[in-house]
Every structure is written in structure tokens, then in C-alpha cells.
Amino acid sequence: MVKATCASLVAAAMTVSALLAPAAHASDVPAQSPVAHQLAVPAGGFIPQAAPGWSFNEGISFGTKNFSGVVQDKAGTKYTCAADGGVYSLASSLVSSGKMNAPKQVKSLKVQGNVPSGAKAKKGTVTGKKELGQMAYIASLAGSPSNLDAAATEAALARAGGVYSGSIWQKAGDGTFKAKNAKYLKPADKRSAELYEKAKKYAGPYEATVKLDVPKDSRKGVIKGIGLTAASGTNVPGHAFELTLSGPATFVDGSTSIKEKTAASTQKVDILLTGEGKVTATLKIKGVAHALPWISTGSSDKGRAQNLIVLGKKTDVQAKATAQATSPMFEPSIATEVKDKVIAQGDPLVDVLTVSSASGSWPFIKDTGEPITVHAKVDVYGPFSTPRAQVTDGQEFAESLLGTYDVDVSGEGTLETDGSITAPEEGFYFFQARIDPKDQGELGEKFTEFSSPFFEASETSVVQWQPNIASAASLDVGQDGQAGVRDVITVTGFPEDHGDFGGIDGWDGDGTTISHTLYFIPAQVEHVEGVTEDMEPIATVETPAGNGEYTIESGEFPINHDLGVGTYQVVSEFAGDSRVASLKTSDIEPTEQVSPEFGAVRTQAAVVDGGELAPGGTIRDTVILEGIFPDGAYTDVSLYTWPIGQEPVCEEAIWTADRIEHGNEAGEYQTGEFQIPSDAPAVYGFVERTYDRDGNTISAGACGAESETLEAKEEAPPEATSPPEETPPPESTPSPETTSTDLTPPATVPPAPDSVHPSAPVQSSTPAELPNTGFDAKILLPIALGLICAGSIAFLVTRRR
């Protein structure tokens, strides 16, 4: 804190009063830059002055002539009051000249409290390492403080120096210090208490700690106890450190240096020994506080200048540890992985071995210079129904040892077992590699034993079970009349305990279901393998993924007749799991196919006016639909003709009726009428064809079907009879009702020169005439009848006589 009298500043204040305004406060604590501190007008309106090159920086102005915070010299070095109240710093407005000595570490420090005017200040000398270390620690934290921390640092130093009691900070903290801006000192006092508690826990003198543990005849070691210990015995966290190795050793990643930060507890790190000799671990911790404070003393034109402590001053500490690495053991290692994770029954069981040396180099025989040969063994175990968790003790698997590969290795690299051991059946097989010093002959004493885990996931192969799905799909109609596909499915090939394995690291658990999906393939679509890949399914049903017989009832696989003519195909699929191979049945499998059944079509050809069909007559066909038909169905009826007595031929229709658009409505439908030609007798036959909306055939009538065939015959002429012998007429006059008639049959009217078109109406024939006379034969009929009657009467009269 800087002290000054009001009278000493009046003249200066009057000189620049027109240029300056009272200090502004951005928050509860006034924000003050270095320039602002030099020109700030504390309450009372004075302008601080100081020895050349010295100024105030971060901190808090209070009262009429006081300041708590950073003092800065012309070189930019930051200081604060070293618990030395009662005298002026060179930044004080009451000092015009002075000189400060270069800072140096001190083992004792005179201190005096900063108390309100009229109060008696505490005085003393700090000589304890603990207290001096605390002051050095507090000052080291304030390299770039805020205004609050700058003032709090000065108050915390007073606490560590033993002169806090009765000071302005204590009174500001309890609210008994009365001065302009004193309220800003209260949070600074609270913060100073936090800094002081931190100093008691983490202040020096410090000790960097590191220990090196190198077992005899080993390739591995450890650096432990890495840390920074405060005077309180606490591990200090958060300080950056670098740990380096020298000698025949590296860290596990092959480097010789690592960088980290200290923690609240000591740390350790593994190392690898690369040879024989002295190994040194050096720990260097950066940015810690000095054990003793750096103090600058001096004088001014007012006498002794205020003692200042350097802020932000830090240093590095280090520690070393050494150990002797002896001749290491040879530590070969084998990393193994199966060549194929999934194999087939009877396939060779092959393991891939990657051999390495812990030291990174392979030892040689001194006398010959040849690399040492390592005799390794790779055991094969199995089969097992399920994989197991990885273990290091394989005693439980001893009875399942399938065989052993002997492998000789003469250097680092990768090799495969010869595949002489094969998989006899479904199940899981694992490999386990080992190097036994007893198998190495006279070099065995220099070998360390190696053994890979049992049932390691990367060392396990599986011969998957091969499932089979057989089914028998059939058309079925339920009690509600709904048609559907009933499918009886027989599943085999799963392990008997399938469904019990829930999975383990590296292996999925048993699949739970088999899906069965119903598709419809329209008749116009080519039914080939893969046809269902892009089709929308009609229905999907799941059954358990296990051996057994399962029935899918027709209600679960409904048939939609409106889809028309085609094939319903069931495709079954098991996605597969770690134990069982995947399976998808063929989408052209005949036993999984059902075709829908539609209603019956009956037809009946008829003569429109009834009776026998004669040339020129009119005919039609009746189509009778019974049962279920798809929406959009229709029927076409065509008419064919062929000569009487010959085989039916239905190649070129002579007439096609208008299409009957009946859809899914059963019933009786009639075609239009057709008048047959009148020129010749013939047989006429209708043929019906019924289709779905896509033109696929539902029903097709037979050519020449009896119910669809009509025969048009020519009318036979009357039989000819001989006229009776003429009898002389009686003398009496003939009866007027009796007439003689010529019974000669009428001649057939010859056809017209041009034949009539089959679809044209039949023309009427002309009346019959007597040959070569043109006389109408009908006139003779009554005459003939009269003659017969007269002859009969004459015969009777003669008999009576």
C-alpha cells in the first residue's frame, strides 16, 4: 500500500483538474490498466506521482491516497508489497526519486502490518522455511493477476508473513474498515484466504520423486513414484514434467522420453530393457514456485523504500534414479490367429503364428552365429458345441485335445501350421500356443515360458451346423371359406441345444426365428430363381429356429383371388448365427408352390328361336360362371365352323362375340346373336375363353365340345309317290268339293350363283314350280283329291251291285 498526504498533491491536482474525471468502475472492483493507475483520481482528486520508471498496475485504489496491488518497474517486472506496511514504494505519489536493488532470494524478511491510521502495526521477522516458501508460492501465482487477485495476493502475503491481524484487509473483511472504496477490499480479503490455504497445502520447498525398478535377468522394468511433493507432504498436481531414459532401456513404445503432468498421487510407467548396463531415469518438473521468495530492497528520497516481492517467479526441479540392467532372458512371444474363422467339416485346421522377441532382436549362438531355434507347440482342441470365455488355465479342456502341431522357429516372422489336423464334425475348435523352456535343450535356462490363452476369440474356428428346411405347401380353405396356403415345415440340422447360447465376446448368440414369406408370382412373370427379390411379400410368419415340425395354417397365408392367375411361393430364410449357417430356400421350389383355384365355367350353345338349326338360322352362346373369379376377369366367345362329319377345327373364327366383362361376379351371361349362312349345311361350334385382368387364362373351352356344337342340316324333300290309274268318271257330275291333284314332289330351288356371306341373313327361297311349264303345282292338289274320292265311290257302287 502506498501512503501520501493530501497537501502534497494539491498543486498537481490543480494543474490537470480540467483534463481528468473520477475513476470509472466496470464492476464492483475498479478495472484499472497500467496507464489508468498512473492517472486514476482516487477519492479526493489527487494525481499520483512516483520515482521515474515506476508505476502502479493491477489492483484496487481505496481511501484518499492508498492502493493495493501490483507495482511495476521500467523493465516491466511486476512486484507487490512484501508484507512491508508503513513505508513508501517507489511508485508512491510522495516519492520523486529512489533506487531498488536487484531481487534476490532471502532466508529472512522483516515484515510490518498495513493498518488504518492511528492503529498500531504488527512487526516481525520471517525466518521459517515454511512461511518463506508460502510467500514464494503465493507470489508465483500472480504473474498476470486480475485486479482482485492483485490485491488479494498482497493480503495473502500479509497472512503468510504473520502481520494480517489488525490489518486493513482483516477489517475490510469483517466490515469495520471505513474508507472510500473499502467495499472492494472485502472480496479481495476473501480471495486472500483461499490463496493462503492453497499455499499451506502446496508450497515448497519441493521434492521431485522417481524410483527405478529393474528385476534381475528381465526384459521389463518400471519407473514408479513419479511426482512432486510439497513441504506439507502433499503431492502437487498439474505441473508439466518430462521423464527421460538413458542407458539400455526404452519405454514400451520404443521412445526414451515422455511428457505428462503431475497428479494428486504418484505415477508409474513400464520400460523395456534392451541390454546390459546402467539405466538412468531423469524426472524434470517445470514451473514450480521457488523455495524462498525473491525480494528487492532499496531507498528513496523519503528514506528506506518498501520491500517488494517479485510476482510470477517460477523454477524447475528434477530428480534422478539409476539401476543396473543384467543379462536378460530370451523372451520369445507368439501372437496367433486362425487362418479361417468359418470352415467346413473335414477342412484342415490352420493357425497363423506371428513370432517376435521382447527385446526386438533374435539371439544367436555365439560359436556358430546361427539364430537360436525355438521349439513351440500349438495344441488344437475341439469340437465344442459353443465357444467359451477366454481363460488362462486349460485343465477343463484336456480331454478335448484333438492334436498338436510342432513348430520350429528360427527368427521373427509369420508362419502357418501345416494343416494336418482336420475338423471331424460341426462345432468350435481353438488353438493354444506355448513355449516351454524344457523343450529348448541346453538353452532352456535362458528362456522364459510363454503360453497363449485358452479359447481366445482370435484363435477359434467354427464348423457351422448346416440347417435344412423341407416343406409341403397345399391349398386349403378354412371354415370361413377363405382360401389360403397351408404349409407344413420340417426343420433339421440345428444343434439340439440351439437357442441356449446367448453369445460371448467375438461370437453372436443363437438366432431365435426362421422367417417364412409368401409371395405371389403372376402368370405373365417368368418364374425363375431370384424372382421374389424385389417383390412385396403378402405375409410373413416366423417359427422357432430349431429342429422340429411346424405348421403354418391357411389363415396366416391368405390367398387373394383378385390377384389373378399365378403361383403362390413360400420362401423360408434363417439369417444364420455364430453356430449355424444361414439358409434361404429357393423361390422356385415346387413343394413350396400353390396355384389358386377359380370357379367353374359352363357353356351352352342354342338356336335363338328353338328347334333344329337349319341353314340361315340364328344362334348364340350362354356362359355360366359358378364360384370365385378375380376382379377384372372377362370372357371371350368365338365361333368356328367345319363340314358335317369331319373332325372339329377351331383355327380361324368366323365370328367373335362382344367381350363379357363380368369381373368377379358369377352368374349367367349370353353372347350376341349370329345368323349362320343359308347356302350349305355345316357344323357350328362356340369356344369360350375366360381370362384374368392381365390376360392370363382361367378357363378355355374345348373345340367341338358337345354343349357348344350345333349342326345345320339341309331339309330333305318329300318322298315321291305314283299317281293312281285313271278310272272313267261316273256319269254323274263330280262333287264340287273334290279336286284331282298331281303329287309329283316339288323340285329344289337351285342356289344363287354367288354364295351368301356367312354373316349375312339367309335369303327366303321362291315357291316351287312344275318343271318346264311354269304352272303352279298347288292348283292340282284339290283336283287330285276329287278324283280319289270319285274313284272310291264308283268302287263301292260296283261292289253293291
| Tens-place pLDDT, residues 723-776 | 555 555 544 444 333 333 332 333 333 333 333 333 333 333 333 333 333 334
Scan for cell 498476470, then name that residue. Answer: 144
State the chain's mean pLDDT as an integer: 83
Cell numbers found for residue 5: 498526504
Cβ atoms of 10 and 46 closer than 8 Å:
yes
Cell numbers found for residue 125: 521477522
Look at residues 17, 20, 53, 15 and name the one whose alpha carbon lies nearest to residue 36: 20
Mean pLDDT to the nearest integer, 210-236: 90
Confidence at residue 17, expressed as pLDDT on a 0 to 100 scale: 30
Mean pLDDT to the nearest integer, 476-499: 94
DSSP state, 762? P
> What is the length of the chain?
801
Cβ atoms of 636 and 671 closer than 8 Å:
no
Confidence at residue 330, expressed as pLDDT on a 0 to 100 scale: 74
Cell numbers found for residue 663: 369381373
Mean pLDDT to the nearest integer, 462-469: 97
Scan for cell 403372376, then name that residue. Answer: 522
CA dihedral 777, 779, 785, 791 (to 10 degrees): -90
Q: 695 Cβ partners below 8 Å, 6+ apart? A: 524
Tens digits of residue pLDDT in 665-709: 999 999 999 999 988 899 999 999 999 999 999 999 999 999 999
Confidence at residue 557, expressed as pLDDT on a 0 to 100 scale: 96
Tens digits of residue pLDDT in 50-100: 789 999 999 999 887 789 999 999 999 999 999 998 899 999 888 999 999
| 134-153 core/surface letters (b: 16 or more CB in 10 A; e: else) | bbbbbbbbbeebebbbbbbb
Cell numbers found for residue 800: 253293291
Cβ atoms of 572 and 516 closer than 8 Å:
yes
Look at residues 483, 566, 582, 474 and name the one whose alpha carbon lies nearest to residue 519: 566
Tens digits of residue pLDDT in 253-302: 989 999 999 999 999 999 988 777 899 999 999 999 999 999 999 999 99
Amino acid of residue 94: L
Confidence at residue 442, expressed as pLDDT on a 0 to 100 scale: 77
Confidence at residue 29, expressed as pLDDT on a 0 to 100 scale: 33
The rounded Cα 595 to chain-centroid distance in angstroms is: 40
Confidence at residue 274, expressed as pLDDT on a 0 to 100 scale: 75
Confidence at residue 798, expressed as pLDDT on a 0 to 100 scale: 32
pLDDT above 90 for 369: no
The rounded Cα 96 to chain-centroid distance in angstroms is: 77
Top-confidence range, 344-358, 593-607, 763-777: 593-607
Confidence at residue 52, expressed as pLDDT on a 0 to 100 scale: 92
Confidence at residue 745, expressed as pLDDT on a 0 to 100 scale: 36
Cell numbers found for residue 566: 399365378
Q: Which residues pair with 320 in a beta bridge?
A: 282
